[in-house]
Amino acid sequence: MQFYCNNCKNNIEESVYKYSVSNFGKALCLNCQNSTPEARKLADALNKLGWDAVLEKPVSRMHIDISVKKAKVNIEVDGTQHSLDLKQAMQDLKRTCFTFNRFWITLRVPNSIVRNKEAFDEAVGYIHKFLSENVRQLKGDVYDKICDFIRGLFSK
Ligand SMILES: [Zn+2]
């Protein structure tokens, strides 16, 4: 029997599968098990809304907590160390700029929001709208570029 990670779909060994199911309630590879409970909670909520949010995606040696490919949005679920630790804060800024150059937007969600039931539900609503809006804008961009290109062909 083949075992695979519920999150990233990579194959996993039976021992990893058993450990994960008893500790996390679902099959996760070692990489996905490393994500924080807050990141997993947010990814689960977004997946219930159909976003295919993926946990812990490595991007050129950098780690992204949650990535939502169809909206080109990365979500960082941050603890306090991200703003208090200068090195970490600088690393975060670099990663935000690096991924933005590839047309990915980074959204930061503090752990405190994820841990509060009421705030979390409200935040998921905002994030859902944010993702939908970015999908709409991405489509608009491509459409506008194609229109400009076609207009360009006929204006000469
Ligand atoms: Zn995985």
54 has which bridge partners? 67
Q: Are 24 and 33 in contact (CB under 8 A)?
A: yes
Q: Where in the chain is the domain with CATH 3.40.960.10?
A: 35-154
- From ligand 1's centre to the CA of 111, what distance in Å? 22
The residue with tokens 């991924």 is 99
Q: HSE (CB half, 13 Å, CA atoms) of 57?
A: 20
Task: Give residue 103's pLDDT.
Answer: 85
Which two three-digit tokens encode residue 3? Answer: 């075992």
Tokens of 104: 């990915």
Options 3.40.960.10, 3.30.1950.10, 3.20.20.80, 3.90.550.10; which CATH number does 35-154 get? 3.40.960.10
The structure's pTM equals 0.76
pLDDT digits (tens, 9 = 90+) for 1-17: 899 998 878 899 999 99
- Residues 96-105: tens digit of each pLDDT: 898 888 889 9
How many angstroms is it from 15 CA to the middle of ligand 1? 14
CA of 68 to the centre of ligand 1 (A): 15
Distance 144 CA to ligand 1 centre (A): 37
Could you tell me the distance, in angstroms and rounded to a whole number, from the CA of residue 9 to the centre of ligand 1? Answer: 6
pLDDT at residue 138, as a whole number: 87
| Tokens standing for residue 7 | 């999150």
Q: Which residues of the chain have pLDDT under 70?
A: 57-62, 156
In this predicted structure, what is the pLDDT of residue 57? Answer: 62
Query: Could you give the CA distance from residue 142 to residue 114 in angstroms, rounded to a whole number?
Result: 34
